[in-house]
Structure 1
Amino acid sequence: MPNDSWSRLELARFLRSRRERIDPRTFGLPVGSRRRTPGLRREEVAMLAGLGPTWYAYLEQGRKIQPSPQVLESLAQVLRLSEDERRYLHRLANGDDEWPRRPDDAPAAEAVLRQLVERGSAYLYPSYATDHRGDLLAWNRAATEWYADFGKLPVSERNLLRWMLTAPEARERLVDWERTAREVAARWRVQSVLWPGDPALQMRVNEFHNLSPEFAAWWRNHEVLEHRSHIRRLSHPRYGLWSFRVVIMRVAGFPRHFVESHIRVDPSNMQNIPSTLD
């Protein structure tokens, strides 16, 4: 595939980042003054996963080798990967670059999503539509009220993650700003693997690296999350602090597009809801 080398390098970086976060004592391995590598050594991962040390070293070097699903599952267990991280690992190793072969559905998708979101403007809570890059395509009045008037931004700046990273009011509106932006970046990383052939998405990655040191640090950590329902707390100058469950929906026929609708959560039911990345 055209972006095979990119996927191999990303796989190598991801494996190393997950290896370095594992405490060797988890597996009863000694931790002494001679250990210069944070976390597990390459040869230790290979041993624990039942792989040859040279073969695994090649995998972390981005060499052109194809791990089997069984090998990937063995690595996922050793590296203590979450379900989202496990899926990400398989996509990096076996995913296909579908971008050049899929028709450009953006114009049709935008028309459908605008009707869906804007005609539902009577909906009391925020709702907006984005593409796989996080570019905002449509939003209702409640989104303008709780987030920002995205229509006043230049088209090139109408991106949800960009707004979170650069707009001063984002840090005021998002109660858990760092956690929220970090989780959006983690979901965004999954999209970068699903659509590696999209040059505009890579341009966004470069743009965010230049705009935000926080984003650059999060990106280096290789955190990944799937798109799923989650809790977000917003602060409004008039209404105060509200907690919402953000429900993420895909529109049939448009795999690169999402609708995110907010549903208010009763504060009394919040105590047992964990952070997505905690």
Structure 2
Amino acid sequence: MSKGTPLGDFLRGRRDAVKPRDVGLPEHGRRRVPGLRREEVALLAGVSPDYYVRLEQGRENNPSPQVLDAVAQVLKLDAEATDHLHRLCLAPSQRPRDRDDSAVSPQLLQLMDGWEHTPAFVVGPALDVMAANSLAVALHSGFDRFDNLARMVFADPAGRDFYQQWERAAHSCVAEIRAAYGHDPGSSRIARVVAELSDVSGEFARLWRTHDIKGKSQEGKHLKHPRVGDLHIAFAAFTVNGAPHQQLVVYQAEPGGPTATALDTLRSSTTAEVTGDGA
């Protein structure tokens, strides 16, 4: 983690990503920064340079929503990143109190276990896998451990074979942890995961510095399992009522398609191994 403030780190990271030409400014002469200068952001946002410097340095404790929206517009932030910017400005007393969301409810576990043909698992803010049904475990059996999605992508060699669109998976993992970090910048678990993965993966460290924001939503995935081959998965994530820091992740295949057949094969072979029928 940086030694700066969460707000300052975010503003600097996103300021570096915006080129002068992106906001209609000339690029004459040598520039000592990769993106916009502080004074350029201040000018375009309609605030004084000194005010913007205080904002980046964490010395401005109560910026107005109008100022934050103006800065977001200059930095070309989308709606999700703009919300993240506003969250970073909340005082500790304005943030939700810490909750013990380390346990998955028995009702949710029972629900997932009933989905014999659907891989499903629950993740926490740092993408720790908190619970999974048997098909989800079988789906990720090629990894050393099915414990943390970001570690599996960046630190397990199996990740590059399993995720056929590895760059997209890598970017999504980092952006999702960034989004969670905005809700709880003081999270010790997120700090540990970021520190550990930054040490072992230069790619993770580089992506973390971009400050891209993206929560889990719905998209497709192209996976390759070592036993059943290519899988084209429809993916969705849902916030868990009563445990807002948990997300239920569900993978589905097109009914009757090759991926559904492959998942059935994986389920059958795994069941046979457990019962001993495959001996």
- The equivalent position to 2:124 in structure 1, one of 124, 127, 131, is 131
Counterpart for residue 162 of structure 2: 173
Counterpart for residue 190 of structure 2: 201
CA contact under 8 A between 1:234 and 1:242: conserved in structure 2?
yes
CA contact under 8 A between 1:113 and 1:137: conserved in structure 2?
no
Cα offset, 1:257, TM superposition = 0.8
- The equivalent position to 1:120 in structure 2, one of 94, 98, 114, is 114
Cα offset, 1:227, TM superposition = 2.3
CA distance in 1, matches of 2:95, 2:148: 20
Cα offset, 1:36, TM superposition = 2.5
CA distance in 1, matches of 2:122, 2:192: 21
- The equivalent position to 2:54 in structure 1, one of 46, 55, 58, is 58
- The equivalent position to 1:40 in structure 2, one of 25, 36, 39, is 36
What is the identity, as a one-letter code, of the residue corresponding to 1:114?
L
CA distance in 2, matches of 1:52, 1:99: 29
Cα offset, 1:245, TM superposition = 2.1
The within-5 A match list for 1:70-109 is 70-94=66-90, 96=92, 101-107=97-103, 109=104
Judging changes above 3 Å, is the alpha-carbon distance between structure 1 residues 28 and 133 closer, same or farther for their aligned structure 2 residues? Answer: closer
CA distance in 2, matches of 1:166, 1:28: 41
Cα offset, 1:121, TM superposition = 4.2
Q: Deviations over 1:223-245 (max 9, x none)?
A: 11122112211112444322222
Cα offset, 1:48, TM superposition = 0.8
* TM-score (normalised: structure 2): 0.82
Q: What is the CA RMSD across the aligned residues, in angstroms?
A: 2.6
Counterpart for residue 249 of structure 1: 238
CA distance in 2, matches of 1:34, 1:103: 50
Q: How high is the sequence identity, in percent, across the aligned residues?
A: 36
CA distance in 1, matches of 2:47, 2:20: 18
Judging changes above 3 Å, is the alpha-carbon distance between structure 1 residues 203 and 232 closer, same or farther for their aligned structure 2 residues? Answer: same
What is the identity, as a one-letter code, of the residue corresponding to 1:236?
H
- The equivalent position to 1:226 in structure 2, one of 215, 220, 227, is 215
Q: Secondary structure at the match of 1:101?
A: coil
Counterpart for residue 276 of structure 1: none
Counterpart for residue 143 of structure 1: 136
Cα offset, 1:22, TM superposition = 1.5
Structure 1 residues not aligned, in runs of 5+: 268-278
Q: Secondary structure at the match of 2:89?
A: helix
* TM-score (normalised: structure 1): 0.82
CA distance in 2, matches of 1:115, 1:51: 54
CA contact under 8 A between 1:126 and 1:141: conserved in structure 2?
yes
Q: Secondary structure at the match of 2:223?
A: strand
Q: Deviations over 1:183-222 (max 9, x none)?
A: 1111011112212333233222211112222111111111
Structure 2 residues not aligned, in runs of 5+: 258-279
CA contact under 8 A between 1:129 and 1:136: conserved in structure 2?
yes
Counterpart for residue 266 of structure 2: none
Counterpart for residue 262 of structure 2: none
CA distance in 1, matches of 2:108, 2:46: 48
**Greater Rg, structure 1 or structure 2?**
2
